[in-house]
Chains A and B, each alone.
Chain A
Amino acid sequence: MALKGNLRDFSTTQLLNLINLARKTGTLTIQNNGEIAHMSFREGKLIYAHLGAEQNNHLAQILQTAGKLSKAQAHIIETKVKGKSDKQIGHLLIQAGYVTQSDIIQSVRQNVLNIVYKLFTWVEGLFHFEANQLPSSSHITIPIDLESVIMEGSRRLKEWEILQEELPDLDASLRFTDRPDTRLRNINLTVEEWKVVSLIDPRNNMRKIAQANNLSDFEIRRIIYGMLQAGLVELLQPPKPRKSTRQTESSARRTRTKTAPPSETPAARRSVVERLIHRIRGL
Chain B
Amino acid sequence: MQAAKMVITGPFSSGKTEFIGSVSEIDVVSTERKITSSAEQIKGTTTVAMDFGRITVGDDLVLYLFGTPGQRRFDFMWDILSQGMLGFVVMVDSTKPETFREAKRILETFEGYASTPYVVAANKQDMEDAWEPEDLRIILRLKPEVKILPCVATDKETVKNVLLELLYSILEELDKEESAEHN
Question: At the interface, is chain B mostly helix, strand, loop or mixed?
Answer: helix
CA A2 to CA B131, docked complex, whole Å: 6
Q: Which of A10, A251, A270, A283 contacts B23 (CB 8 A)?
A: A283
A273 close to B86 (CB less than 8 A): yes
CA A193 to CA B156, docked complex, whole Å: 66
B23 close to A18 (CB less than 8 A): no
Q: How many contacts A-B (CB < 8 Å)?
A: 112
Interface string of A263-283 (1 = CB under 8 A from B): 000100110111111011101
Q: Which of A254, A260, A270 contacts B171 (CB 8 A)?
A: A270
* With contact pairs A5-B98, A6-B97, A253-B112 given, residues A14 and B139 touching in the complex (Cβ less than 8 Å): yes
**How many chain B residues touch A (Cβ–Cβ < 8 Å)?**
46
Please name the residue on chain A nearest to B6 by beta carbon.
A276
**How many chain A residues touch B (Cβ–Cβ < 8 Å)?**
38
B116 close to A17 (CB less than 8 A): no
CA A100 to CA B171, docked complex, whole Å: 64
A259 close to B84 (CB less than 8 A): yes
* With contact pairs A266-B177, A279-B57, A283-B23 given, residues A254 and B112 touching in the complex (Cβ less than 8 Å): yes
- A153 shortest CB reach to chain B, Å: 17
Find chain B residues with CB under 8 A from A280 CB.
23, 55, 160, 163-164, 167
Q: Which residues of B contact A (CB under 8 A)?
A: 2, 4, 23, 55, 57-58, 61, 63, 79, 82-86, 97-98, 100-101, 108-109, 112-116, 128-132, 134-135, 138-139, 156, 160, 163-164, 167-168, 170-171, 174, 177-178, 181
